[in-house]
Structure 1
Amino acid sequence: MKLFDTLGPVMVGPSSSHTAGAVKIGYITRKLLGNSPVHADITLYGSFAATGAGHGTDRALIAGLLGMKPDDIRVPDSFSLAKQSGLDFCFALESAKRGNHPNTAKLIVTDLSGNTLEVVGASVGGGRVRICEIDGIRTDFSGDYHTIIVHNTDTPGHVAQVTTVLAQKNINIASMQLYRNVKGGYAVMILECDDKIPENMLSWLKDLDGILKITSYNREEDI
C-alpha cells in the first residue's frame, strides 16, 4: 500500500469513488477511443445509479470524456462545457449491480468519424478504477500503466508478434492478459507496460494479418 492509497486522490468533488473514480473512467474511455467523443450513451449501475446524482458521478464521467482530470476545477461545469464542445450525451440508470462491483458504468462513445467504443468500468475506491470490458470482451486493467489492447482472431502467432515488437522497442511488459470468446474466434490481448506505447508501433501492428483493432492508453502521472 502506498501513502496515496491512504490519503486518497487530489480531486474536485465529495467522493473518491463516485467522483474522482468516475472522472478517471471517462478519461480512460476517451484515451482508448483515440479522439474526442461527440456522443456518449452512459448507463450507471448499482450504487452509481442510486447515489451518483448526489455525488456528481454523471458530471464526473462527462468531465473525463472531455479530457479533464479529477482535480480539474471545471468538473462541476462539465455539462455546459460538453454542450460548448459538441459532446451530446444521455444517461440511463440500472438499480442492479453489474459485474463484481456496485460502482460501475457502461459508456458507449462515438467520435466524429463514426468510430464507436464500448467500455465498462468500475470505481473500486480511493480514486482507483478497473476497466472490466471493452467492446463486450471481458478485461481487467487499472489504467495505472501504459496499456495496449489488441483485438485479433484467435490464431497462432499474434502474441509472439506483439511481444517481439515491444521487445524491439525496449518496452518492458508489466503484465499480460489473454481473453477469447471461443477457440479460433475473437480474442483480446491486454498488455500493461512500464514504458510509453509509441504511436508508430501501433500503426505497424494494425497492418498485420489477423489484427482487427488496436487501442492504447498512455497514462499520465497526475491521473
Structure 2
Amino acid sequence: MKYRSVFDIIGPVMIGPSSSHTAGAARIGLVARQIFQKEPTWASFHLYGSFAKTYQGHGTDVALVGGVLGFDTFDRRITDSLTIAKDRNLVISFHEEEAHMDHPNTVKIRLGDKLDTMELVGISIGGGKVEIKELNGFSLRLSGNHPAILVVHDDRFGTIARVSTILAEKEINIGHMEVSRKDVGKEALMVIELDQNIGKDIMVEVESLEHINKVTKIHE
C-alpha cells in the first residue's frame, strides 16, 4: 500500500486507516529506540492479534520501523521507513504470531547490535496512546506518552527513597511510579513517569547513587 503523505496514516488529523495501528505503532517503536539508546543493526517485530492480521494494509509495518529509526509520529519520513532502514543496513523482519495476548494490538520488538540486545512488549490502546507491558523480562506499565526515566538497580533497602529524594529536591513531580524485580535482592527496575523532562545533570546524579546500574530517559 502506497501512502502519498504521512498524514494518510498518522495525525495530527487522522485521515488514514487507524490511529491504533499506525500512530500507536510508531510510538511503541520510538519508545523502544529511546530505551535502546543507539541505532540497532537488526530489529524483529513479533505481531499478535489484529496487528498480525492487518499490519501491512494499515501501515503498522512502516510505523514500527519508523519509530525504531527514531522518527516521531509526525515525521514525514515514516512513509519511507522500510527503504530508509535498508539504506542504513538495518535488517528487519516481521513475524505473525498465533499466540493469544490480552490485547489485540500487541507487538514484541527485539533490537540488537554486535554488543547488546533488548526485548520490549507494547500495546496500542487507541488514539495513538500506548502502554509498554514488558522490558527485558521485567513486567511494567509505561504509557510512553509522558516523560519518564527507567532506573535499573540492585534490589537494596533505601534505593527507591534516594532516587525519589533527588527528584523532590529538584522539584520534579512524579506522576506514576512502580518497581519490578526478578527476585529478592536481585536486579530491579524502577519506572518513573514525570510531569516534565529532566536534564542530563539530574540523570547523572541519579546514576551516581549506590546500587544504581543504569538510568534511561524517555521523553514525550
Task: Compute the TM-score of the two structures, normalised by the length of structure 2.
Answer: 0.87
SS at match of 1:133: strand
1:79 aligns with 2:82: yes
Quote the residue 1:40 is aligned against: 43
Q: Deviations over 1:51-96 (max 9, x none)?
A: 2121121111001111222233332211101111232211211022
The code of the aligned residue for 1:50 comes to K
1:107 paired residue among 82, 100, 109: 109
The code of the aligned residue for 1:107 comes to I
Residues 75 and 17 of structure 1, relative CA distance in 2, 3 Å threshold: same
Quote the residue 2:25 is aligned against: 22
C-alpha separation in 1, matches of 2:199 and 2:111: 24
Paired residues for 1:208-219 under 5 Å: 208-219=209-220
Quote the residue 2:144 is aligned against: 143
C-alpha separation in 1, matches of 2:76 and 2:219: 23
C-alpha separation in 2, matches of 1:129 and 1:20: 9
Paired residues for 1:159-170 under 5 Å: 159-170=160-171
SS at match of 2:152: strand
1:182 aligns with 2:183: yes
The code of the aligned residue for 1:127 comes to G
Gaps of 5+ in 2: 1-9
The answer to whether the 8 A contact 1:148-1:217 is kept is yes
Q: Please, which moves more after superposition, 152-161 or 71-80?
A: 71-80
Residues 116 and 205 of structure 1, relative CA distance in 2, 3 Å threshold: farther
Q: Please, which moves more after superposition, 174-183 or 157-166?
A: 174-183
Quote the residue 2:3 is aligned against: none
Quote the residue 2:98 is aligned against: 95
The code of the aligned residue for 2:155 comes to D
The answer to whether the 8 A contact 1:44-1:106 is kept is yes
C-alpha separation in 1, matches of 2:159 and 2:78: 41
Q: Deviations over 1:33-64 (max 9, x none)?
A: 12222221221111111121211211110011
Gaps of 5+ in 1: 1-7
The answer to whether the 8 A contact 1:44-1:94 is kept is yes
Task: Compute the TM-score of the two structures, normalised by the length of structure 1.
Answer: 0.86
C-alpha separation in 2, matches of 1:9 and 1:176: 29
Aligned length: 210
The answer to whether the 8 A contact 1:40-1:110 is kept is yes
C-alpha separation in 2, matches of 1:13 and 1:80: 20
The answer to whether the 8 A contact 1:41-1:90 is kept is yes
Offset at 1:17? 0.7
1:58 aligns with 2:61: yes
Runs of 4+ in 1 over 6 A off after TM superposition: none
C-alpha separation in 2, matches of 1:207 and 1:108: 29
Quote the residue 1:153 is aligned against: 154
Offset at 1:186? 2.5
C-alpha separation in 2, matches of 1:13 and 1:114: 38
The answer to whether the 8 A contact 1:12-1:70 is kept is no
Question: Alignment RMSD, CA only?
Answer: 1.9
SS at match of 1:104: strand
Residues 82 and 74 of structure 1, relative CA distance in 2, 3 Å threshold: same
The answer to whether the 8 A contact 1:13-1:20 is kept is no
